Chain A
Amino acid sequence: MRVTFTVNGREQEADDVWEGESLLYVLRERMGLPGSKNACEQGECGSCTVRLDDVPVCSCLVAAGQVQGREVVTVEGLADQARERGGRATDGTTLDQAKGWQAKPHGAQAAQPGQLAPIQQAFIDAGAVQCGFCTPGLLVAADELLERNSSPTDADIREALSGNLCRCTGYEKILDAVRLAAARQDEVV
């Protein structure tokens, strides 16, 4: 089947998709967006977390067919999404622009300095990144938390992130990163 959906603000098509294929597989193998990680493939670890129509989901548990006509945001799109949230015109991207768009997940840096989402910068500054494998999913989940709750309590953060396992950091610095991003958000407002 053909699946048409929006990924990181751009319309995308995938052909010959098997009905049982996961959104995670479509993103990683068909769209060339390997930022979302496959660590358990059964919704236990959150490493593949993306936004599906704004809701954080484990993309390993979403069948490709379910995303038809819907919007997906991955870690690769966090910076763009944050910029849009920042108050710029949100006309979306034209189809021509979308067709010219290339994911650049490999090799060189995906975004230049200053082009990170606040939560991404906060993860770097707080030292919340270690091996990095859980990081993309945590960023998407944390970004969503801060979008709906600009000054979360520690309990709010712990609850919001408890679907995302991290084996390296012990979470303390991840909490610091979310607190830091929230504080910086306050400064801007």
Chain B
Amino acid sequence: MTTLPRVTGEAVARIEARDKVTGAASYAADHPLDGLTHAWPVTATVARGDITAVDDSEALRDPAVLAVLTHANAPRLADAGDPMVAVLRSPHVAHHGQIVALAVAETLEAARAAAGAVRVTYDEQPHDVVLTADRPGLYTPDEVNAGHPADRRRGDFDAAYAASEITVDAVYEVTPLHNHPMEPHAATAVWDGDALTVFDSNQGSTVVRSTLAALFEVDEADVRVVSEHVGGGFGSKGTPRPHVALAALAAKAVGRPVRLALPRNRIAAVTGHRAPTIQRVRLGADADGHIDALAHETVTQTSTLTEFVEQASVSSRMMYASPHSLTTHRVARLDVPSPSWMRAPGECPGMFALESAMDELASACGLDPVELRIRNEPPVEPDSGRPFSSRHLVDCLREGARRFGWHDRDPRPAVGRDGPLLIGSGVAASTYPVWVFPSHAEAYAGSDGRYEVRVNATDIGTGARTVLTQIAADALGVPLDLVRVSIGRGDLPAGSVAGGSSGTASWGWPVHKACTDLRQRVSDAGGHVPDGGLFVRADTEQEAGGGTEYSRHAFGAQFAEVQVDTVTGEVRVRRMLGVFAAGHILNPRTARSQFIGGMTMGLGMALTEGSFLDPEFGDFTERDLASYHVAACADVPEIDVHWIDEDDPHLNPMGSKGIGEIGIVGAAAALANAVHHATGMRVRRLPIHPDTILLGL
């Protein structure tokens, strides 16, 4: 028997790419259904209050309008334990932009017009939406996102900091940020008796299915959720969001299929966002740059509906040797839209602060910023004392410095000039933890020599379908084209969410397990699959459900070169380089795009993306893509990505770490540090807009 060359690690082309380039791939709002109707949301115009009356008489005058649903007349949803989907249940308004009614009509235009004609009267109450670091009402949460403790203390920070030769004390601010996947949150729902079918845009239809079953008090087996193609999520589709509950609710109410695609300018308020953070970082070091004291204190906000705490101080617990450490989170519960996951929650804003502070420390010590980081490499993970399963930050920094030509630069700030342009470069470290969640898979061998693998993974653009096919083919020992992987349906074996950069590990593991077992069974059957085929089930409840004796993280180094226009104040990026160490890379083609895409989102965070909660009306002022600037093609320079292959036996059978989020971590700090090198100016509040530069120059 010949051994096939492995396909994991190969740059296999995206399996569904043909469907996507021909327009054949069906997203949540692309499914034609007989008798389809359309819905449009009515959103609260006050930031806090109670609805006292809804006048829908004008809206219902158009015969094309089928219903205006409100808390008063909509079928009542059961409590599924998630306030995000508890729609139209109460007259209370918890934030501006909350969906208070839903117009359903024969056409999209009629629904939109009807929504505009609904008159809602409120008993308006004073609202509180302004976050400051010293405001009253800040409290310590029991835990922060991802289950971390709010506060950690090691040693005696105050004494060590006071005794330090060199200190840095700075406050960094990140505004609210919006995920804005290109596909709006959309669902098409249809009931057949008590059976519900939903075509939904989400990052995990297993949970959408169980949530819908709970909301409508029906059997999970009667809920079908189809999410074969999802147009991005970046965390904002990580759990069921209001659109899917509303579409199903409306379909039940009007007795016809209903499609709801949230209008772009309503998405920010109801699907989650990255909460703003105010982060104070203090570093105390000796003259050689060895950190003795590190404090990272985050102030952030959550809504009155949910408690979500952006864990911005958490990466400071494990990045650098720091004998005396203080990391805290304080949160204000405000009358604001609920925050949620956005690409690398915690690490992304937190590493902007820490890695900016590291640059400031390097300046204060007169040290090269790459060297400073190398000097503070910890032997074990400082917070838990556990060994790292693998950590190649230093290699990433050195390899990146070599490729970027880092050591050729003049380290002095504000000396690089090209006419009216100031040129500078910056570096920052990246990190992202390794997550893996239990999942289930099935593998089937047909007597025709073909294989089918089923797992409820979700491909939100990552390439999950492709990489799972690669994993399956290798485990089965068969060519790629004999394997078909089915994903993206709630009735498939339960898969975990496409979040936390955990997908490939979490879904790939049971796929690997099932396929390995199936291969053995085929072999046991003499290499011939009997009529009727062979079938295997596997899950990783044991393997992925427990803890680990290792601290597991991916690491990286980001380098950036910017030009700052002294006339206009505009910062433009000339080039970026990322070098990452994230286990084995299973598909270089899709992986490269993940890294570059993350870095580009980090570029947006640094320079173009920013949102502001207006104190008067209590909602985001930047609510559409005209005002919230996602980086466009002409904003993004040449971005180069490399990786260092890691052989880490403490991960999963594929030896992979997640790569969907690490690309955004550190990118903004590298750019801000480059702006400092170019201008001599520290910008500690993102995004870095021309007005800030002009005022500072």
Give the size category of B's interface with A: 35 or more
Q: Find out whether the CB atom of B593 lies under 8 angstroms from the CB atom of A168.
A: yes
A-B contact pairs, 21 of them (CB 8 A): A29-B107, A34-B32, A35-B23, A38-B184, A40-B264, A116-B21, A123-B17, A124-B21, A129-B17, A130-B232, A130-B597, A131-B181, A131-B182, A131-B183, A132-B16, A132-B20, A167-B180, A170-B639, A173-B592, A173-B596, A175-B633
Q: Find out whether the CB atom of B597 lies under 8 angstroms from the CB atom of A40.
A: no
Q: Find out whether the CB atom of B22 lies under 8 angstroms from the CB atom of A109.
A: yes
Which A residues touch B180, using CB under 8 A? 167
Question: Which residue, A37, A125, A131, has most C-beta atoms of chain B within 10 A?
Answer: A131
B524–chain A nearest beta-carbon distance, Å:
36
Query: Measuring CB to CB, which residues of chain A are less than 8 angstroms from any residue of chain B?
Result: 18, 20-21, 25, 28-29, 32-42, 44-45, 47, 74-76, 79, 104-111, 116, 120-121, 123-125, 127, 129-136, 139, 157-159, 161-175
Q: Contact partner of B182 among A29, A36, A133, A158, CB < 8 A?
A: A133
Instruction: Knowing that A34-B23, A139-B21, A172-B636 touch, tell me 15 more A-B residue pairs with CB under 8 angstroms.
Output: A34-B29, A35-B23, A42-B624, A109-B18, A111-B18, A124-B21, A130-B462, A131-B182, A132-B231, A133-B183, A158-B634, A162-B632, A164-B633, A165-B630, A173-B593
Is B108 an interface residue, CB under 8 A from the partner?
A: yes
Known A116-B21, A130-B463: A38·B234 in contact at CB below 8 Å: no
Complex Cα gap A162–B634 (Å): 6
Within B619-638, the residues touching A (CB, 8 Å) are 624-626, 630, 632-634, 636, 638
Query: Nearest A residue to B20 by beta-carbon distance?
Result: A132
Is B14 an interface residue, CB under 8 A from the partner?
A: yes
Q: Find out whether the CB atom of A40 lies under 8 angstroms from the CB atom of B25.
A: no
Known A25-B109, A165-B182: A124·B18 in contact at CB below 8 Å: yes
- List of 7 A-B pairs having minimum Cβ-Cβ separation, nearest first: A35-B23, A131-B461, A133-B231, A170-B600, A132-B20, A130-B461, A170-B596
Q: Find out whether the CB atom of A127 lies under 8 angstroms from the CB atom of B183.
A: no
Query: Nearest B residue to A104 by beta-carbon distance?
Result: B24
A136–chain B nearest beta-carbon distance, Å:
5
* Interface secondary structure of A, over-half rule: loop
Q: Find out whether the CB atom of B625 lies under 8 angstroms from the CB atom of A29.
A: no
Query: Nearest B residue to A160 by beta-carbon distance?
Result: B633
Q: Find out whether the CB atom of B182 lies under 8 angstroms from the CB atom of A76.
A: no
Q: Contact partner of B624 among A28, A44, A170, CB < 8 A?
A: A44
Q: Find out whether the CB atom of B14 lies under 8 angstroms from the CB atom of A127.
A: yes
Complex Cα gap A111–B16 (Å): 13
Complex Cα gap A166–B29 (Å): 19
Q: Find out whether the CB atom of B633 lies under 8 angstroms from the CB atom of A161.
A: yes
Q: What 1/0 mask marks residues of chain B from 4 to 25 whose CB sits below 8 Å from any chain A CB?
A: 0000000101101111111111
A8–chain B nearest beta-carbon distance, Å:
10
Complex Cα gap A98–B30 (Å): 23
Complex Cα gap A172–B229 (Å): 22
Q: Find out whether the CB atom of B593 lies under 8 angstroms from the CB atom of A170.
A: yes
Which B residues touch A35, using CB under 8 A? 22-24
Which B residues touch A127, using CB under 8 A? 11, 13-14, 589-590, 592-593
Q: Contact partner of A130 among B32, B107, B593, B601, CB < 8 A?
A: B593
Q: Find out whether the CB atom of B22 lies under 8 angstroms from the CB atom of A75.
A: yes
Which B residues touch A162, using CB under 8 A? 632-634
